[in-house]
Structure 1
């Protein structure tokens, strides 16, 4: 390790370790010969910058902490970096950012870290309007407690736990980062130094009594409070007053918190270190216990979703939840199911659904999806394995909820992008970016070329471009998503309505498609009736494996309980959407 820190490496090392080719910067590990391409800047601190580093052979993306050698020439800086590497490198836990490697060249020292594309809890809070519901805070705190319990078991106290040092990977799993202030406390007394971030400092640290494991537990209480309330518990306008409040244990608990949340916060923020719970006790607290799925939860959940379209827009505006995408790729080619239409009772219902008389000719797309799915679930065997179907269907690959200001943006697998604005208007951009379609809040559509957008639509056009750029630069598809089927000479697909619950985001598109992205396990369900004679189901499971089936195959052969449960959830959402659609039809009749 000391060789890496050598401030005067051989001159030839400079040529080996840093190259510029076609304006791309490449970094080479002189020992392993692994070559990294330097990507975008992810962040910067006191004396380091963090960039994406992409292994050119494997295409694996890392976060590279790049420290100029000029910064480590100052007294104590070299030892600080050595200590950070020494403490962090042995830590291997799913809730701790992994330190993969480190090396140096003539100008810099490089620390190769696990890449967390969803940034930090600071960014999450900003995106979500400043606060998170208890249902989302609980799993984050459980993951934090598991990570801290592990680091403590290795004799390491972090000493700087805060929102900014809690990163999120592509699956929104929490990872503890930045061990620059960490210390090993095993076999030695607590370190008597005031270090860390003021709003998260424990009272014993301010009293110069040392920074032991219990100080990390205190910081966890500050993090939990900040997630629920939107600010740390002792934050004031001056540092002196903040310290006084910490020493007095003076903070307030909002009345809207549940009893279990209040109880855990009080336990974590005990002024005396000996009175705070152990990490095992924290993990056993009722607030952090994983929720148990119960069959009756769906009915209760859906009963809370009975809001009309105007209320839905307002609910989205009040939620303030710009979100990050967790998408999945379509992997492997499936075989055609070849289910004969006459072999399944579903198609008796299909005939009744599709052959409409005059009185039922106003059947909406939502009711169509609802009846198809209801017919499938009425016929489905208790269990089974349906044959897969070969083909593709359109799906949402990226989305962002910015309804606290503007609206809900999305990108489809054919690269169409669109925004459903808070005023119920919609603007879409074609995959080739040569055509724009605007729909007013009555559904009337007008098409324009980008160069001839009316002045009245320029602001929304600018917002659409902002959404498109943000999704392109910041959100990933998470896999090889196939391009959706071509839709030549057809109107662009647009978002009709969406709904967000504690469990999922539900999106209904104009192409007779419903998509449900589940937050907890990152599964996704797509129900498509664009070809109503062959409605399709796409399902992405917890391992991000994607399968496609015809609805007829599921009705005939069955499917596993996980998929059945999600189909039932989708049916409940369609019931709610169908009520909205019927109200709209009655108003326009």
Structure 2
């Protein structure tokens, strides 16, 4: 049943449903405001985004709720305040609702479109990229893969101390899944078809139906390239044409314009190795020079989740060394990037080099 009126899914105990602000494959999203007489003003913000679908087809939303509960604690992932069932305005069905953080800045995709396909200033891209990297680090450390990183799944929230600047937050966990970290099990369970948006799919997703943490990093590289250029990462009139290019035996790669800064080009290259074993991790990318010197949301936040790797190229980069003379954890993050970069510079497998 399609939702066409604002009250099709009904109001909540503490909130009133407003106009529709978005619609996807798994539900419609509405703005919602708290009722004046509610006793839960401390539990909910005054404005929320409510993602709804009929209970009979709400399996994905319920799964999303479980995943978001597991991922609490990162300011770079959209916050979930709970869930609630409502009765439709005509009393004919029940609706399942996720109560989510409202992001008044809209989506990153909308922000890119406003640039007129010219791309965003690099200074702005760096801010959004750091937020996304930190969000992915938290997700991957908790054992989850997003599987659909793209501009439309990144929301912008005005910063508390500067309403003209935004923090980027990852949203829409409907396709997210537990990461399979054992390579043998990964090969056994890869029979399912890929999920996500063709433009941002990794080669291993297209060829082998494998979507793990490196696939999110590939998508991140595509998102950064899209932000900087304003243009599609791949040329193609249909999803099939794009899929064929990504999975091509010639091992094609997206074009990176030479007018970008050296740091921006290198960051994108670190994400777009066709072999997922050579892609940098979110942990290492946090200390890439492209993200240096950013202090707009403070430097105190450092995700606590640890990332375990089964990729040969990155062995030894995820855990602190046992050397008694090792430096602090913060220093180890910078060291891991330098070490990984040194190895990359010695490899001849990278098509961009």
How high is the TM-score relative to the length of structure 1?
0.42
Length, aligned pairs only? 263
Counterpart mapping for 1:110-121 below 5 A: 110-121=97-108
Contact 2:139 2:145 (8 Å CA) reproduced: yes
Contact 1:24 1:37 (8 Å CA) reproduced: no
Give the structure 1 partner of residue 46 of structure 2.
60
Q: Secondary structure at the match of 1:81?
A: helix
| Alpha-carbon shift at residue 49 of structure 1 (Å) | 1.3
| Alpha-carbon shift at residue 263 of structure 1 (Å) | 1.1
For 1:37 and 1:290, the matched residues in 2 are separated by 42
Give the structure 1 partner of residue 69 of structure 2.
89
Contact 2:53 2:95 (8 Å CA) reproduced: yes
Give the structure 2 partner of residue 28 of structure 1.
12
Q: Residue 108 of structure 1: which of 77, 80, 95 is its match?
A: 95
Give the structure 1 partner of residue 219 of structure 2.
219
For 2:217 and 2:205, the matched residues in 1 are separated by 13
Give the structure 2 partner of residue 378 of structure 1.
none
**Where do 5+ consecutive residues of structure 1 fail to align?**
1-19, 30-34, 293-519, 522-589
Q: Secondary structure at the match of 1:62?
A: strand
For 2:181 and 2:202, the matched residues in 1 are separated by 22
For 1:214 and 1:47, the matched residues in 2 are separated by 25
Contact 1:168 1:175 (8 Å CA) reproduced: yes
**Where do 5+ consecutive residues of structure 2 fail to align?**
1-5, 88-93, 160-165, 298-353
Q: Does 1:129 align with 2:87?
A: no
> CA RMSD, aligned part only?
2.4
For 2:17 and 2:64, the matched residues in 1 are separated by 23
For 1:252 and 1:135, the matched residues in 2 are separated by 21
| Alpha-carbon shift at residue 25 of structure 1 (Å) | 9.3
Q: Secondary structure at the match of 1:105?
A: strand
| Alpha-carbon shift at residue 186 of structure 1 (Å) | 5.2
Contact 1:50 1:66 (8 Å CA) reproduced: yes
Counterpart mapping for 1:198-213 below 5 A: 198-213=198-213
Give the structure 2 partner of residue 358 of structure 1.
none
| Alpha-carbon shift at residue 251 of structure 1 (Å) | 2.2
| Alpha-carbon shift at residue 156 of structure 1 (Å) | 0.7
| Alpha-carbon shift at residue 125 of structure 1 (Å) | 1.0
Q: Residue 131 of structure 2: which of 143, 146, 149 is its match?
A: 143
Q: Secondary structure at the match of 1:132?
A: coil
How high is the TM-score relative to the length of structure 2?
0.69
Q: Does 1:289 align with 2:299?
A: no
Q: Does 1:42 align with 2:42?
A: no
For 1:86 and 1:291, the matched residues in 2 are separated by 32
Runs (4+) of structure 1 exceeding 6 A deviation are 23-26
Q: Residue 147 of structure 2: which of 141, 147, 159 is its match?
A: 159
Which fold has the larger relative contact order, with Cα–Cα distance below 8 Å and residues 6 or more apart in sequence? 2
Q: Which range is displaced more, 118-127 or 231-240?
A: 231-240
For 2:265 and 2:144, the matched residues in 1 are separated by 28
